[in-house]
Structure 1
Amino acid sequence: MSRVLFVLYAEKTHLFIQVPLARAFAAAGHEVRVASQPELVPEITRAGLTAVPVGRDHGMGRLLALRPEFRSRFGGSDLPPFDVADVPGELLSLDYLRAGYGDVVPWWFRLVNEPLVDELVGLCRWWEPELVVWEPGTFAGGVAARVCGAAHGRLTWGVDFFGRVREQFVRLAGEAGEPVGGAGDPLGAWLSDLGGRYGVAYDEELTTGQFTADLLPTPFRFDTAIDYVPVRYGTYNGVSVVPRWLWEVPVRTRVGFTLGLSAVERLAGYAVSVVEILKALAALDVEVVAALPGAAGIREQLGAVVGDRVRVEEFVPLAALAPTCAVMVHHGGFGTIGTTSLHAVPQLALAEQLDAIWLARGVSSYGAGIDLQVAEATGERVAHEVQRLLTDPSFTEGAQRLRADLHAMPSAAEAVPELLRLADRHRRPPVAAAPHPQAKNTGRQTTA
């Protein structure tokens, strides 16, 4: 039996991605714990997993509420240095990547990692996990793993723009004769300081892990030299109830509509006119099921005229809704694309966020759907594209190809042995240095 620690900063959607793999380790008989800031503990335990609260809650929610410019960065496509992840390497600029890291490290990476790193290191010293799995922005997971000698790897929640940009930065720095991890490398310099507090020497493993578990088929990936371990995407929708009406066969062809949770919970709201789009879809010979926070207000704006064609609910489990739909209209979120793709449902993606744009392009490249820019997503245009998806059989064929590639990937249960083999290969002796002076003394006590 191995001890496996999942680590993430408190972000609910990132937890939902981790749950299937964490459960697979537990089902295989391993001891699993999930470490995050206190605010995420209720969601972790509702998922049936053992939570370990570490540190204090981060301030990302307050920052996004008070600073519109940061909401627009997370909600849009302009987030240097990651906005050039799909740009060919020969067109990239070291100065642009450096400036982007210099901007994003303080207000994102430091903001969410610094509040939990001391207690996370203490937890790893005490519990001594053999494997630490961290989401790509929680770099503290790699530092804590190195302290206790555990193997560590990332679990992606989208296209790996983190890894692609880092690899290009290292390449360009090398060509310029500049060292990584120093003053000219904002991410490396911060991680050098973070690890140095606990006696951990900097290397590039702290940026991208010793390996990366990737939930996407190969065609979605950027070209990198990262050691990817394929793991089939698994669905977890949080605490869910399947409503009785969802059991019934739809009278008309069903179209699903969702724009995710982050736009309302974390960001500035929806980037498209929801009511306009729903009214346009209601004019088709379809039944629309829309899962949207603030459902009551949206129903009131729609009025009784379209009431029999559009059902608006606060929440519908996507894993239960998607198989009943002929088309899914969505925001390009990773969980939504993954769940919809597993059921071979053609998709219309109205993507605005950074990785959602690349995910939507990936679906389109399969012929499994249409990638429509947010600026063009009028009600009329959305209804037109949905009609195309309903009537052109090539989209169903593309969706079936995508589903086949997903199902060809190892399930979470099948991936567990490979991840444990990697853990055996990558474990190191623990760091013997004394803990950082600011860290709490939570190390394991031993007796003779």
Structure 2
Amino acid sequence: MRVLVVPFPWKAHVFNLVPLAWSLRTAGHEVRVACWPNLLDVVTSAGLTAVAVGPGETPEVRRQRDRRQTSERAAAAKRAPRQGLDPLFDIRPDRERLDWEQACRVFDDLVLPQARRSNDSMMDDLVAAARAWRPDLVLWGAKAFAGAVAAEAVGAAHARVLYSVDVYTRMRQDFLHARAQQPPERRTDAMRDWLSGWARRYGVAFCEDLVNGQFTVAPLPEAFRPDPGPTVLPVQFVPYNGPAVVPGWLAGPPPAPRVLMTFGDSVDDRPTRLPLPVEGIQGILGAVAGLEMELVLAVPPEVRQELREVPANTRLVESVPLAEVLPTCSAVVHHGGTWSFGCALRHGVPQLLISRAFDAPLKFRCLRAAGAGLAMTPAQADGPAVRAALVRLLHDADLRANAVRLREQMLALPAPNDLARTLETLAAAHRPGPVPAPR
């Protein structure tokens, strides 16, 4: 069959889809990855076939867009503060739902602005590419709603592929539940209005599959799937970080328990967005200097230049291949990114999240319920707090045992190669057949 892969237009989201794309290739299927032009090299360097959709941008235009989007995200965060959204991050089965005002604020100020920026500009190109190639299955990364629209426009089956804990399904469920309680004149739905407009343009009707897919691929253990459902397909998280070289210092055993601290960000070719200022990192280094460990601190060159003192127990590096370094680690401190989080789970390493990401509270509650890690906000992450957390990560036998248990659960899930066979069956069952292009 033909499989069209549509990542959300960030580098890390392309990485998330590479293992599954390759599993389908090695199963004998034709695979193409439709992405923004600035990501073509990322796709082709992974050995996959790319097709350009969306805006062609020079590096300078992209930098200007990045600065503008950073400013817009900051403004959106002020309009839609996380306070009051606690039900969204509650993992209990009987949790309270977001109320109508909260649910509207989430979609209007957080979800839709980013969705429109990243999807509108590639929608026409993507549908045209799908009509020309006629895929049988479309795999679209979470938030890449254009993939769902293109699949419906050509009568292909389609699945949403998660990159983290699924906060988007529960946001939509809460919204629809709250909307049903409103009088008819207040039952607005900006998400439906947006997707309906695009669907009509290509001759198809809106359905909820455009929001969350006909089925969902979830690459995390059961403990990190707080909203299980019959259309969820679990799969192992298999790390891919792009081209990497194993550093020479990994050849021998570490001189002391190794701790990796990484605040890397492979979202795009923009400067790393550290959750902590350099002074905060310096304070942490001073606080942990006396601990018996080898701290591997991965930070960009500009941060290394600003650090005044580096303790003897610290190895400074610019970047590391996580899948190679983490198996040698006793603990990891990171910013809650997809790859750091997933790699730590896969290798059974207790972890400390220092994160301001939107989904961080849901990740932490799942992690805490599993007893396999700790978390704090950047404001809480001073030297003494991080030192205390590291001491616990290194010496708490229960944390380590639970992290190993999560690793075993993850490795018991279907590998991407196994999932490829399931996707063949589901694609045949969900594919309605060709949809004629509107005249």
TM-score, length-scaled by structure 1: 0.88
Q: Secondary structure at the match of 1:234?
A: coil
Answering whether residue 430 of structure 2 is matched by residue 426 of structure 1, we say yes
Q: CA deviation at 1:410?
A: 0.6
How many Å apart are 1:89 and its aligned residue?
Answer: 6.0
Distance 1:347 1:141 in 2: 34
2:207 is aligned with 1:208: no
Deviations, residues 247-291 of structure 1 (Å, cap 9, x unaligned): 121112211110121589377543352222223223211111112
Contact 2:8 2:118 in 1 (8 A): yes
Alignment of 1:91-240 (within 5 A): 91-104=97-110, 107-176=113-182, 178=184, 184-223=188-227, 225=229, 227-240=231-244
Q: Which amino acid aligns with 2:436?
A: A
Contact 2:10 2:267 in 1 (8 A): no
Secondary structure of the residue that 2:359 maps to in structure 1?
A: helix
Answer with 18-27 or 84-93: which moved more.
Answer: 84-93
Deviations 1:312-339 (A, max 9, x none): 1111100111011111111122211111
1:138-167 deviations in Å (ceiling 9; x for gaps): 111011011111100100011111111112
Alignment correspondent of 2:398:
394
1:286 corresponds in structure 2 to 293
Please state how far the C-alpha of 1:61 moved relative to its aligned partner.
Answer: 5.9
Aligned partner of 1:55: which letter?
G
User: Which SS does the other structure have where 1:381 is aligned?
Assistant: helix
Q: What residue ranges of structure 1 are gaps of 5+ in the alignment?
A: 436-448
CA distance in 2, matches of 1:379, 1:45: 42
| Letter in structure 2 aligned against 1:161 | V
What residue identity is the alignment partner of 2:395? T
Matched, 1:271 2:276: yes
Change (3 A) 1:244 1:73: farther
8 A contact 1:331–1:351 mirrored in 2: yes
Q: Which amino acid is 2:141 matched to?
A: E
1:371 Cα deviation (Å)? 1.8
Supply the AA of the counterpart residue of 2:300.
Answer: P
Contact 1:6/1:34 (8 A) holds in 2: yes
Question: CA separation in 1, counterparts of 2:232 and 2:434?
Answer: 25
Partner of 2:256: 252
**Maintained 8 Å contact 1:44/1:50:** yes
**Aligned CA distance change for structure 1 residues 169 and 72 (closer, same or farther; 3 Å):** same
> 2:55 aligns to what?
56
Structure 1 Cα separation of the partners of residues 436 and 82 of structure 2: 38
How far the C-alpha of 1:55 sits from its partner, in A, is 2.2
Deviations 1:112-153 (A, max 9, x none): 111111111011111111100001211110110111111001
Would you say the 8 A contact 1:82–1:162 is kept in 2? no
Distance 1:372 1:262, change over 3 A: same
Return the alpha-carbon distance in structure 2 between the equivalents of residues 408 and 10 of structure 1. Answer: 31
- Distance in 2 of aligned mates of 1:100 and 1:153: 23
CA drift at 1:63: 4.6
1:317 aligns with 2:321: yes
Residues 222 and 60 of structure 1: CA distance in aligned 2, closer, same or farther (over 3 Å) = farther
Letter in 2 for 1:126: A
- CA–CA distance in structure 1, aligned partners of residues 3 and 156 of structure 2: 9
Higher mean C-alpha displacement, 168-177 vs 149-158: 168-177
Shift of 1:177: 5.7
User: What's the secondary structure of 1:271's corresponding residue?
Assistant: coil
Task: Please tell me whether residue 70 in structure 1 is matched to residue 76 in structure 2.
Answer: no
Any conservation in 2 of the 1:134–1:155 contact (CA below 8 Å)? Answer: yes
Tell me whether 1:85 sits opposite 2:91 in the alignment: no
- Relative to structure 1, the CA distance from residue 14 to residue 81 in structure 2 (aligned partners, 3 Å threshold; closer, same or farther) is farther
Distance between the aligned counterparts of 1:72 and 1:312, measured in 2?
Answer: 31
Q: Any idea what SS the aligned residue of 2:295 has?
A: strand
Distance 1:82 1:422 in 2: 35
Q: Distance in 2 between matches of 1:338 and 1:75?
A: 26
Q: Supply the distance in 1 between the matched residues of 2:184 and 2:214 (Cα, whole angstroms).
A: 23
Greater alpha carbon shift after TM alignment, 49-58 vs 267-276: 267-276
| 1:84 Cα deviation from its structure 2 partner | 5.0
Q: Which residue of 2 aligns with 1:439?
A: none
Letter in 2 for 1:209: G
Counterparts of 1:80 and 1:374, CA distance in 2: 16
Whole-angstrom CA distance in 1 between matches of 2:182 and 2:62: 35
Structural RMSD (CA): 2.7
Aligned letter for 1:8? P
Structure 2 distance, partners of 1:270, 1:344, is: 24
Q: How many residues align?
A: 429
Deviates more, 1:214-223 or 1:110-119: 214-223
Which deviates more from structure 2 when the two are superposed, residues 44-53 or residues 347-356? 347-356
Q: Deviation digits for residues 196-250 of structure 1, max 9, x if unmatched? A: 1100101111110100000112221233646100011001011111111111211
Q: 1:336 to 1:380 in 2, by over 3 A?
A: same
Supply the distance in 2 between the matched residues of 1:110 and 1:160 (Cα, whole angstroms): 20
